[in-house]
Amino acid sequence: MQFFSQLKELTLCIISDSGNKNRKTVLKMLTENVTALLKILAKITTKINVLKIEEFNPNYGPQVFHALISMIKSQKRLRQFYLMGINTLKEFHGIVSALESQKLSLREVLIEDCDYNAEFKTLMNCENLETIRIRYCNDEKILKIINTLNCKLTTLEIINLDCEIDASNIVIILEKSGALLQRLKLEVKKISEQSLSLETLKSFCPNILYLNISVIEFSTKLLDLIGNLKKLLFLTLRWCDDIFEEEVIQFANALPFTLQYLDTRSLKSKFDILFNHCNAPLKTVISNHHYEEKDFRALIEFCIRKGTLKYLGVRLNSRDVYERMKGYVTVVHFSRVIVDC
């Protein structure tokens, strides 16, 4: 009882064993047990700040959903809510709507592998939301909800490499968030009206610290945006195709003097040109290609010239990279130094 009463973070993974031969019997037993637990939590555990519902299974009976709704409503100050579905979850049985009771305290929402449902309109009333994360949701209606939020975001993350998004579905929230927006991650198959999103970011969001955009085309508007971000610390870009030497030079010259982290995994053939012209005080560089002699020379010269580079994150476990860069920079697998939103 004392342990439950002090819980601040709770992760619920309420799934059923669909492969069991006695599935109905097992599901009935699990339903009873889950319901009993949730009722205890609703009564005793009222100080949860972070609630994560993982692999949510909609096959449970209504008693489970009612108990979960009661547990959500019983919280005094829920700040973070994560909902991770299975096979593009479509029905939420009032779980998301229950967040209405937390509309003043809720700061962060993560929705993963879920389809659109009218319950998501509840988020429009959460006026103090600061962070929205949408992962692997194929329905763009969810993104349209983002534009209707009555809040200003500091972090916006949208991930689905199989999905194209229309920039018009996020520009309003970008404009509304304005100078408060600090972290933006767009990992999608394609962004239509790319220039619209770049212009909006340049005009309204000058204080971005973290920028991660996948599948982007080189353009003067992109260079203008990067040059305008005077506080940028972390940058990851995925080019649509190989860019020309002159474009790489322009990109290198546009990097702000605040930049400390650069993910260059999509830039392979002109790695040396980038670092021959880069003046940003980088501390971490992530790459993913086979180093040639010209790459080693450029990177070593950059280390000597700037004296700031500490980590080189690589995917290829080439002994040659470790040996050649020894004494200049610490070489590690990129997963050890990658920075997420």
Whether the CA torsion 189, 193, 199, 201 is positive or negative: it is negative
- In 3D, which of 270, 308, 265 has the Cα closest to residue 292? 270
CB 58 within 8 A of CB 96: no
DSSP for residue 284: E
Q: Are strands 131-135 and 155-166 parallel, antiparallel or unpaired?
A: parallel
Q: How far apart are CA 14 and CA 39, in angstroms?
A: 14
pLDDT of residue 29: 79
- In 3D, which of 122, 112, 56, 50 has the Cα closest to residue 81? 50
Mean pLDDT, the chain, as a whole number? 91
Q: How far apart are CA 295 and CA 194, in angstroms?
A: 31
**């975001």: which residue's tokens?**
153
pLDDT of residue 15: 65
pLDDT of residue 265: 85
Q: Is 339 helix (H, G, I), strand (E, B) or coil?
A: coil
pLDDT of residue 231: 97
- In 3D, which of 226, 218, 275, 213 has the Cα closest to residue 243? 218
CB 155 within 8 A of CB 341: yes
pTM of the shown model: 0.92
Q: Are strands 50-54 and 80-89 parallel, antiparallel or unpaired?
A: parallel
Regions of the chain where pLDDT drops below 50? none
Q: How far apart are CA 100 and CA 103, in angstroms?
A: 5
pLDDT tens for 239-263 read 877 889 999 999 999 999 999 999 9
pLDDT tens for 166-207 read 899 999 999 999 999 999 999 998 888 899 999 999 999 999
Letter for the amino acid at 228?
A: N
**């980088």: which residue's tokens?**
282
pLDDT of residue 21: 60
